[in-house]
Structure 1
């Protein structure tokens, strides 16, 4: 029993230290930019030796990969929850719920947002399978699900469009086409249009560029989404 208790204590302490390392890394990035993430700087902030921190992460890139995976997973969980609790028969509400969850997550986790959507960490080399394939897949398919719900109303606006599958990244198509085999290439363009509207305003807000422009960034964001939904001819069921 004593051995089990000792092992449990070590595991708990290791988990706590690992979490602190990740938090410090994001704080360093927030104050000094992505190139501020170094194992030596983290060790210095935590009062550890550089050799000790290597026992948790063998390289800086291993740490960054873990951070990216954690951040994408947190984001995917947030937008998936908003999607699942909104009515399936109301694509307008689903778009607004998903987008609102994305904005709320980004404002609550600005360092994480900047890590995955801001400037890349200099010299970082992702593993061959990618940093967070499952969570990134969930975010991409979530966006495409928004477009799929809107497509019955919006497809007339894309009549005669020249979009082809070759216009889009093969990696993106590998994620979304199996999940939505019935959608045409123009629907992927619609998903990217939705993404551009919500991501653009959120990025401006996270990076502080809205402070001198409006005192109501949330109102601006939701009004932009409302106008986007209207422009696509999507009725609001609520």
Structure 2
């Protein structure tokens, strides 16, 4: 009886994993509106009714996907950051940035799910699909600015940003973690994020293919310039 139950659980886990893989594949090939339980069932050779035994609704599936994908990204960048506790700020920032790009390149469908076009009609649960993971990534980005701030303060201290310029929920995440980071530092964190995210997005969506055969070199150069804009010299990586 135990053997039968274990086999049943294993088969269910395997089918659940395949459903999620097929959903991401459909999104990658046909866009976010291609994620439907019927389409997934058809792709897997299942009946529509059978797949509802794994996910009651399409939104349940999308929420599960977003939570798992976002958590995997948060784990990747947190691990990279935690691995350089005593390193110079430039090395820590570059390590985090490379971890972000490496994860995105290894998981392009997941990147598009959490940072690309929204799934049409999807209603996230209250508080978001992956609030903990989103908090971790957001805090990590602020950590980049906080690490650089002692070197960058003289460059950005006269910024006109005030606390009222930022969303309250964002400040609720950042200010307790980095109490010494002023409004100008929060704005700097957003600019850092924009530069890193922008170039990686262009690469993931294929917009650099006709412009360069060395997107990694382009990212490396952009990252070096980013670090210099923070008042510190980049590390050789």
**Shorter-chain TM band:** over 0.9
3-state SS in 2 of match to 1:205: helix
> How far apart are the structure 2 equivalents of 1:166 and 1:8?
55
2:169 alignment partner in structure 1: 171
CA contact (8 A) 2:33 2:119 kept: yes
- Give matches, 1:114-153, under 5 Å: 114-153=112-151
TM score, norm. by length of structure 2: 0.96
> How far apart are the structure 1 equivalents of 2:108 and 2:235?
33
3-state SS in 2 of match to 1:163: coil
1:234 alignment partner in structure 2: 232
CA contact (8 A) 1:90 1:236 kept: no
CA contact (8 A) 1:57 1:63 kept: yes
> How far apart are the structure 2 equivalents of 1:237 and 1:198?
17
> How far apart are the structure 2 equivalents of 1:129 and 1:52?
30
* Aligned with residue 96 of structure 2, among 69, 82, 98: 98
* Aligned with residue 184 of structure 1, among 182, 185, 201: 182
Deviation string 1:2-39 (CA, Å, 9 cap, x unpaired) is: x2222211111111111000000000000110000000
1:51 alignment partner in structure 2: 49
Cα distance, 1:83 vs structure 2: 0.9
CA contact (8 A) 2:157 2:184 kept: no
| Structure 2 unaligned residues grouped into runs of 5+ | none
CA contact (8 A) 2:144 2:189 kept: yes
Deviation string 1:27-83 (CA, Å, 9 cap, x unpaired) is: 000011000000000000011111111111110000000000011011111111111
Cα distance, 1:88 vs structure 2: 3.1
> How far apart are the structure 1 equivalents of 2:172 and 2:58?
29
17-26 or 81-90, larger mean C-alpha shift: 81-90
Deviation string 1:154-178 (CA, Å, 9 cap, x unpaired) is: 1111122111112112222222222
| Structure 1 unaligned residues grouped into runs of 5+ | none
1:64 alignment partner in structure 2: 62
The 3 A distance-change label for structure 1 pair 116 and 14 is same
Aligned-residue CA RMSD in angstroms? 1.3
Query: How many pairs does the alignment contain?
Result: 236
* Aligned with residue 12 of structure 2, among 11, 14, 28: 14
1:74 alignment partner in structure 2: 72
Cα distance, 1:211 vs structure 2: 0.6
Cα distance, 1:86 vs structure 2: 2.1
TM score, norm. by length of structure 1: 0.96
